[in-house]
C-alpha cells in the first residue's frame, strides 16, 4: 500500500469544512472560467452570467438530499468565506490551494477561456496535483460549452487524436448570434432551456461525486486497517481448529493471547457430518471472521482435515467474510507438526488460497505474527 494521501496544507483545512466527497478535498467543484473582455466598468462581460450559472447549478445540486449539508463549490467571485477569493490573501497562492483541493473541475468553455493565462494555470495546477496525490483525472472534468470555440483545446480537454471531451452544450442562437443559454432573459435562470440543461449537468455530476466519495471512504477504511495491523498487539485473530485436536488449538490460542492478541472463536469447531449443521457452522464462521483482522488455520497431523480447511475456510469462507467486511483478512497456516505436512502439493494449495506458512513448532512462533501482519498490510497495495 502506498503512503496515505498527503493532507492539504495551509489555511484551508484549518479553517473550512471539507467537501461532501471528503478529505483530502475541501471543495466538490471548482469552476474555472474567463471573465471575458472588460465592459468598460471594471467587470468582465461573461462574469455576471457565469455567477448566475453557478448559483443555479448549486441550487439544483442542493436539491439532492445527500448534498444539502456538505456541498462546497468554489468560484472566484463568491463572497462566502472559503467559497471564493479572499481579498486579504495573495491571489495566486490561494487559487492554487483552492483548485488543488477540488474534487471535480468544471470549465465554462469559450475562446476567452482558451486564451486566458489564469485559466491555463488553474487547469495545470489541478492536473499536476491530482497526479501528485495519485488520482486519475478521467471522469472528473466537466466542460460546459457556453460558446462555440475556434481555439485548440489542450490536453486533458482533448485526446491524442484531438477529439474534445463531449461535455455539455450550453449555448444557442439568438438572431443568428451564439450566446450562452439564458443570455437574453431576465432573470437568466428563468429560461426553461437553461434550467433543463443545468439539471442535465447535475444528473452527470452527482454519480461522479458519489463514486469519488465511496472511493475516498474505502481508502480511509483501508488506511485505518493498515494502521491497526501495525500496532504492537491488540488485533483479533480467528484461530480455526477442530474439536478432535482441541489441545493443540487451545495451546496455540493461549500463546496468542499471551502476546496481546484477541482470539476467536471461544472453542474449536465441532466435527460434524450433518449437512444442515455444517452449513450453520459456516454461516456463523463467516459472521465472526468478518469482524477479525486475520485468519490462522491450525495445521495438525490430520492431513485430510488440513487440506479441506485450506479450501473451505482459507478460501471460500474467507472470501465470503472479506466481501462482507472489505477487510484485508490475511490467512496463515500454523504448522504445529513440522516438515511431515509440508508437501509440494499442499504448498501449492496454500499459495493458491494465499495462505502463508507459519512455523508453529518453534517456541517463539507468536513473535512472527506481528511482523507477518505488518508484511501483509504492506503488500496489500493499491493507491488511489
Tens of pLDDT along 142-174?
999 999 999 999 999 998 888 999 999 999 999
Nine-digit cell string for 202? 447535475
pLDDT in tens, 64-110: 988 888 999 999 988 888 898 999 999 999 999 999 999 999 999 99
Strands 171-174 and 177-180: antiparallel
3-state secondary structure of 344: helix
- Contact predicate 57/73, CB 8 Å: yes
pLDDT in tens, 337-362: 999 999 999 999 999 999 999 999 99
List, as one string, the DSSP characters of 38-95. Answer: B-SSSSBTTHHHHHHHHHHHHHHHHTSGGGTTT--EE-TT--STTTS--TTS-HHHHH
Its pTM stands at 0.71
Whole-angstrom CA distances from 55 to 19, 59, 74, 117 are 17, 6, 11, 25
Nine-digit cell string for 10? 495551509
Residue owning grid cell 439564458? 182
CA angle 11, 13, 16 (to 5 degrees): 85
Which residues sit opposite 262 in a β-bridge? 236
- Contact predicate 74/33, CB 8 Å: no
Residue 16 has pLDDT above 60, yes or no: no
Report the number of secondary-structure helices (H) and strands (E) in the chain.
12, 12
CATH class of the region 230-378: alpha beta
Question: Is the link from the previous residue into 137 a cis peptide, with omega within 30 of 0?
Answer: no
Which CATH superfamily hosts domain 11-223?
A: Toll/interleukin-1 receptor homology (TIR) domain (3.40.50.10140)
- Contact predicate 330/373, CB 8 Å: yes
CATH 3.40.50.10140 segments of the chain: 11-223
pLDDT of residue 379: 61
pLDDT in tens, 222-274: 787 777 777 777 889 999 999 999 999 999 999 999 999 999 999 998 887 88
Measured N-to-C along each axis, helices 366-378 and 192-229 cross at an angle, to the nearest 10 degrees, of 160
| Helix residue spans in 137-290 (DSSP H) | 192-229, 246-258, 275-289
Which residues have CB under 8 Å from 373's CB, separation 6+?
229, 230, 235, 293, 294, 330
Torsion angle of the four alpha carbons 327, 330, 331, 332, in this order, in degrees rounded to the nearest 10? -150
Quote the CA–CA distance of 57 and 81 in Å, as a whole number. Answer: 19
Of 82, 80, 71, nearest to 29 by C-alpha is: 71
What contacts 24+ positions apart, CB below 8 Å, involve 109-112? 109/143, 109/144, 109/145, 109/146, 109/147, 109/149, 109/157, 109/167, 110/33, 110/34, 110/36, 110/46, 110/146, 110/147, 110/149, 111/147, 111/149, 111/150, 111/151, 112/34, 112/35, 112/36, 112/37, 112/46
Quote the CA–CA distance of 126 and 111 in Å, as a whole number. Answer: 20
CATH 3.40.50.2300 segments of the chain: 230-378
| Best mean pLDDT range from 14-18, 330-334, 370-374 | 330-334
Nine-digit cell string for 96? 492554487
Amino acid at each position: 500500500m502506498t503512503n496515505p494521501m498527503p493532507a492539504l496544507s495551509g489555511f484551508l483545512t484549518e479553517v473550512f469544512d471539507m467537501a461532501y466527497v471528503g478529505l483530502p478535498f475541501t471543495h466538490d467543484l471548482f469552476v474555472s472560467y474567463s471573465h471575458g473582455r472588460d465592459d468598460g466598468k471594471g467587470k468582465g462581460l461573461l462574469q455576471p452570467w457565469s455567477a448566475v450559472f453557478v448559483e443555479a447549478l448549486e441550487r439544483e445540486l442542493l436539491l439532492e438530499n445527500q448534498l444539502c449539508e456538505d456541498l462546497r463549490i468554489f468560484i472566484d467571485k463568491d463572497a462566502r468565506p472559503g467559497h471564493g477569493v479572499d481579498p486579504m490573501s495573495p491571489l495566486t497562492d490561494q487559487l492554487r490551494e483552492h483548485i488543488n483541493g477540488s474534487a471535480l473541475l468544471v470549465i465554462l468553455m469559450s475562446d476567452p477561456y482558451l486564451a486566458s493565462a489564469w485559466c491555463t494555470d488553474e487547469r495545470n495546477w489541478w492536473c499536476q496535483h491530482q497526479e501528485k496525490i495519485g488520482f486519475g483525472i478521467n471522469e472528473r472534468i466537466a466542460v460546459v460549452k457556453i460558446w462555440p470555440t475556434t481555439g485548440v483545446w489542450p490536453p486533458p480537454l482533448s485526446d491524442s487524436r484531438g477529439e474534445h471531451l463531449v461535455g455539455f452544450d450550453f449555448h444557442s442562437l439568438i438572431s443568428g448570434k451564439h450566446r450562452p443559454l439564458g443570455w437574453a432573459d431576465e432573470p437568466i435562470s428563468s429560461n426553461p432551456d437553461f434550467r433543463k440543461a443545468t439539471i442535465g449537468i447535475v444528473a452527470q455530476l452527482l454519480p461522479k461525486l458519489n463514486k469519488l466519495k465511496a472511493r475516498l471512504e474505502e481508502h480511509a477504511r483501508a488506511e485505518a486497517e493498515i494502521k491497526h495491523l501495525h500496532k504492537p498487539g491488540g488485533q483479533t485473530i480467528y484461530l480455526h481448529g477442530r474439536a478432535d485436536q482441541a489441545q493443540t488449538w487451545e495451546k496455540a490460542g493461549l500463546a496468542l493471547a499471551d502476546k496481546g492478541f484477541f482470539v476467536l472463536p471461544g472453542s474449536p469447531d465441532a466435527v460434524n457430518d450433518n449437512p444442515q449443521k455444517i452449513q450453520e457452522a459456516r454461516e456463523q464462521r463467516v459472521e465472526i471472521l468478518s469482524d477479525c483482522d486475520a485468519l490462522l488455520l491450525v495445521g495438525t497431523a490430520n492431513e485430510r482435515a488440513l487440506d479441506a480447511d485450506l479450501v473451505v475456510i482459507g478460501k471460500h469462507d474467507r472470501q465470503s467474510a472479506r466481501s462482507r467486511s472489505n477487510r484485508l483478512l490475511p490467512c496463515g497456516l500454523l504448522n504445529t507438526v513440522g516438515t511431515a505436512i509440508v508437501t509440494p502439493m499442499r504448498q501449492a494449495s496454500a499459495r493458491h488460497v494465499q495462505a502463508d506458512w507459519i512455523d508453529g513448532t518453534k517456541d517463539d512462533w507468536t513473535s512472527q505474527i506481528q511482523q507477518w501482519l505488518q508484511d501483509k498490510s504492506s503488500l496489500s497495495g493499491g493507491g488511489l
